């Protein structure tokens, strides 16, 4: 009788250890995924910041270019009416489109990082849940084996 009892105790300890291992593994995976989500969220913030920086630099470049165009025409004695004015206007419109494209690209990239962060957080939640569900299996298996041994 002592040997079956020892086997039962060892089986129970093994089942509990396996269950604990499953929970711990799920928690560790969840923490890693949460760190990944935090990193991706930070990348989104940096993308927006870089986009605004690049847009500001492009705006400054455009202002210098427009000033140079005006100064060049006026220094040459050319009136800003008609074609020269239209060229300056087109340059201003083109540079504004460039600035908007920079902002749009940065926002698109930031949203992609945010979406990845959301996915990582969802996977973290799933990993935690899987750890808990995985913990149930060895305990149920032990209980089933133990009850079958008693039946026979």
pLDDT in tens, 94-143: 999 999 999 999 999 999 999 999 999 999 999 999 888 888 877 777 76
Helix, strand, coil share of the chain (percent; to 5): 95, 0, 5
Domain range annotation of the chain: 2-151
| Closest by CA position to 40, among listed 103, 124, 127 | 124
> Which one has a higher pLDDT value, 103 or 15?
103
Mean pLDDT over all residues of the chain? 89
Q: Which structure tokens are listed for 39? A: 């990193």
Distances (CA, A) of 115 to 95, 109, 128, 139: 30, 10, 20, 37
Between helices 2-75 and 83-151, what is the axis angle to 10°? 180
| Closest by CA position to 138, among listed 6, 20, 8 | 20
**pTM of the predicted structure, to 2 decimals:** 0.74
């Amino acid at each position: 009788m002592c040997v079956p009892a020892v086997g039962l105790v060892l089986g129970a300890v093994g089942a509990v250890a396996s269950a604990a291992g499953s929970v711990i593994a799920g928690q560790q995976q969840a923490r890693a995924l949460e760190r990944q989500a935090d990193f991706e969220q930070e990348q989104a913030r940096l993308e927006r910041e870089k986009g605004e920086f690049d847009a500001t630099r492009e705006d400054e470049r455009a202002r210098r270019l427009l000033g140079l165009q005006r100064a060049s025409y006026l220094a040459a004695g050319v009136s800003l009416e008609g074609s020269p004015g239209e060229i300056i206007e087109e340059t201003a419109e083109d540079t504004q489109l460039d600035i908007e494209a920079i902002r749009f690209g940065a926002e698109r990239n930031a949203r992609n990082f945010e979406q990845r962060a959301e996915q990582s957080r969802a996977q973290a939640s799933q990993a935690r849940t899987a750890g808990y569900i995985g913990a149930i299996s060895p305990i149920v298996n032990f209980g089933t084996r133990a009850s079958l041994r008693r039946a026979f």
